[in-house]
Amino acid sequence: MNDRLRLAALSFLMLFVELALIRWAGSNVLYLSYFSNFVLLGSFLGIGIGFLRAQKTHALFPYAPLALAALVAFVRFFPVTIRSSSGGDVIFFGELQRSGPPRYVVLTVIFIAVTLAMAFIGEGVARSFAKFPPLEAYRLDLLGSVAGIAAFTLLSFLGARPLVWGSIVAVVLIASYWPRVNALQLLGLAVFLVILGAESFASGTSWSPYYKIEVKFDKNLNAQLVYVNGVPHQAIQPPNGASRLVYQTVYDRVAVGPLDDVLIVGAGTGNDVAGALEHGARRIDAVEIDPRLYELGKKLHPNHPYADPRVHVHIDDGRAFLQRTHRRFDLILFALPDSLTLVAGQSSLRLESYLFTREAMEAARDHLAPGGAFGMYNYYRERWLVDRLAGTLSAVYGRAPCIDDLGSAVSHLAFLEAATSPSALRCAGVWTTATRPVPAPATDDHPFPYLRDRTLPGFYLATIGLILLASLVLIRVSGGPLRLMARYTDLFFMGAAFLLLETMNVVRFALFFGTTWFVNALVFFGVLLSVLLAVEVSRHVSFKRPTRLYAVLVASLLLAFFVPASWVLSLAVPLRFLVAALLAFAPIFTANLVFTQRFKDVGSSTVAFGANLLGAMVGGLLEYGSLIVGYRALLIAVAALYGLAFAFGRQHLNATAVPV
């Protein structure tokens, strides 16, 4: 394998493994469904350490198969599966018991394990990286990364199992070692593949773009029970079965009739669709984000609701569907839309977060037909969450919603119903707050309905502190003295700023176009293509006054900051995409012009790139600030970080500037 192909292949491997670990670890360690960015942070730290070690004599890359085997064995055979329903001021849906060590210990252990595995791979990339001029190396790295994202996106679409992911990793590793493959490497890969294979072919297990899904028959319910990432999620049963109360209550409260048009968001395996059909709905738009859950419902539901010609299925994000459709509905039902996972590996946004903001409730209200009603229900874990959602509906509809609060009798099951006309509902009870003060509504800028207050919960702080401590120790022990990076402090701040900027774009595109895996992949493709374009420009152009690039960057950040998200959402989809792409990728392109103009003249490309990656890890930690200030304010942090990069790199700008 020649050097260029080797660098591109190893960069492919590095990004592919990172994405696979985020996806796979979250399916086996419950907390990583809610904190998948800890895997991302560990990956950045590990790759950064690998780059800092690139000049050392003893190579770690030959032992990468053993590191990967140890990681998957630890997760599978020494599971730290903690399941809890809430954390007081922040809610995690799951089982109702708590076991195992503290959250911050679990997350820190996983963080270190991922860091070590990625450091072995990152070092292999770095040794190839050092053979080329900085920009050429970066270009080849990006090409491999684009291929890695494309491959993993395709496999997600196809519902590929972990054994397929692992086989691709094994093939690339063997090709990179060839012809000097040794028995220890083959043994590590064999253990790695056997563990993934055993999981892949477990009875009743399949993989969607979001979850590991298991289907098991439950004798008590006399129904198929669907588990996602190890948590009971849905029971496939008729609406007149053991859970009839769940599917009857909303219709007992809705006075409108007949139901000409019904919208069900969170249609899942079809229970609520079957309930709407039973109550005479003439047309049902069933929105479900996960194609595999729909497929299971189509195949296994005893009533076969998805085969009914009155049902129109949309595999889509519920908020995105509301933003696009022009139909009006007699009933809009948000049916148990708790996703148990995050949008991407680098944000705190859950798949359903934008469904429960004030703006989303207003969008639902605006799609009600005259006399129509809105309903939502869930097994809420905390009364303050019921009060937050009821308070949001009260603000949107101008009156307190109806409530059926079954409390602890049925696992905190609660129903909320609202309508623009009081005559549209037959209330059994009207909401009155049990929480003082009532938690403020979630908004599109602060889309965290499960976080009671604008604060960082204590276990977040404890975990972040442990991660920072572990990072300093690992960098010092594995990468050498921190002073080696001192001359690249500006690149460190650029890495932190860029990770925050990328996260902002993931979050904004999720709001504008939905929280689906496809939208997420589209953003990452756009980011990498913007970076590649900046590399190509910098390979052929040296700016006479590179300081002006910072001015352009600040201008693009100001534009993104001041353009209201509500205005973008009001645009037709094609125009919305063009505006969103401009707001997202103009700052990214300019930021990478700043980076590449600096990077192409560095003395040590591996140390410089390592500093940039470690900065990205810090940027990932700073993303948790959004829990306090919201996402829009992160753009101020981005600007401040680029300001620090400018201050620390000013001498380099002056040194490389070309006179007019």
Domains of the chain plus CATH, in order, are: 3-203+453-656 (1.20.1250), 238-338+358-424 (3.40.50.150)
**% of residues, the chain, pLDDT over 70:** 90
How confident is residue 339, by pLDDT bands cut at 50, 70 and 90? low
Say how far residue 56 (Cα) sits from the centre of its chain: 35
pTM of the predicted protein model = 0.88
Output the average pLDDT for the chain: 87
Report, in angstroms and rounded to the nearest whole number, the Rg of the chain calculated over CA atoms. Answer: 26
**Per the structure block, which two tokens stand in for 114?**
């991922």
SS3 sequence, 431-489? CCCCCCCCCCCECCCCCCCCECCCCCCHHHHHHHHHHHHHHHHHHHHHHCCHHHHHHHH
Note the helical H segments in 514-633. Answer: 517-540, 547-562, 565-569, 573-599, 605-622, 626-629
Q: Which tens digits make up the pLDDT trace of 542-561? A: 887 888 899 999 999 999 99
**Per the structure block, which two tokens stand in for 27?**
């399916």
pLDDT higher than 60, residue 95: no
Q: What pLDDT, on the 0 to 100 scale, is given for residue 479? A: 59
Tell me the CA distances in angstroms from 26 to 290, 353, 554, 641, one per residue in order: 16, 18, 36, 30
Compute the Cα dihedral for 502, 504, 510, 516 and give only its sign: positive
pLDDT higher than 70, residue 90: no
Q: What is the DSSP string of 81-150?
A: ----SB-SSBB--S-S---SS-HHHHHHHHHHHHHHHHHHHHHHHHHHHTTS-HHHHHHHHHHHHHHHHH
pLDDT higher than 80, residue 242: no
Q: What pLDDT, on the 0 to 100 scale, is given for residue 92? A: 59
Contact 254, 331 (CB under 8 A): yes
Q: Please indicate whether residue 524 or residue 652 has the higher confidence score (pLDDT).
A: 524
Q: Which tens digits make up the pLDDT trace of 159-175? A: 899 999 999 999 999 99
pLDDT higher than 90, residue 640: yes
The single-letter code of the amino acid at 564 is: P
Q: What pLDDT, on the 0 to 100 scale, is given for residue 658? A: 43
Q: Which tens digits make up the pLDDT trace of 445-458? A: 999 998 889 988 87
Q: What pLDDT, on the 0 to 100 scale, is given for residue 269? A: 94
Separation between Cα atoms, residue 106 and residue 113, nearest integer Å: 11
Q: Which tens digits make up the pLDDT trace of 427-440? A: 989 999 877 899 99
Q: Please indicate whether residue 184 or residue 460 has the higher confidence score (pLDDT).
A: 184
Q: What pLDDT, on the 0 to 100 scale, is given for residue 343? A: 67
Q: What pLDDT, on the 0 to 100 scale, is given for residue 96? A: 42
Q: Which tens digits make up the pLDDT trace of 288-299? A: 999 999 999 999
Say how far residue 596 (Cα) sits from the centre of its chain: 28
Q: What pLDDT, on the 0 to 100 scale, is given for residue 84? A: 44
- Mean pLDDT value of segment 184-211: 92
Name the nearest CA neighbour of 110 among 48, 166, 44, 38. 38
Separation between Cα atoms, residue 279 and residue 349, nearest integer Å: 35
Name the nearest CA neighbour of 51 among 80, 85, 14, 95. 14
- Helix and strand tally (H, E) in the chain? 23, 11
How confident is residue 221, by pLDDT bands cut at 50, 70 and 90? confident
How confident is residue 275, by pLDDT bands cut at 50, 70 and 90? very high
- Mean pLDDT value of segment 310-339: 92
Q: Which tens digits make up the pLDDT trace of 371-426? A: 999 999 988 878 889 999 999 999 999 999 999 987 654 457 889 999 999 889 99
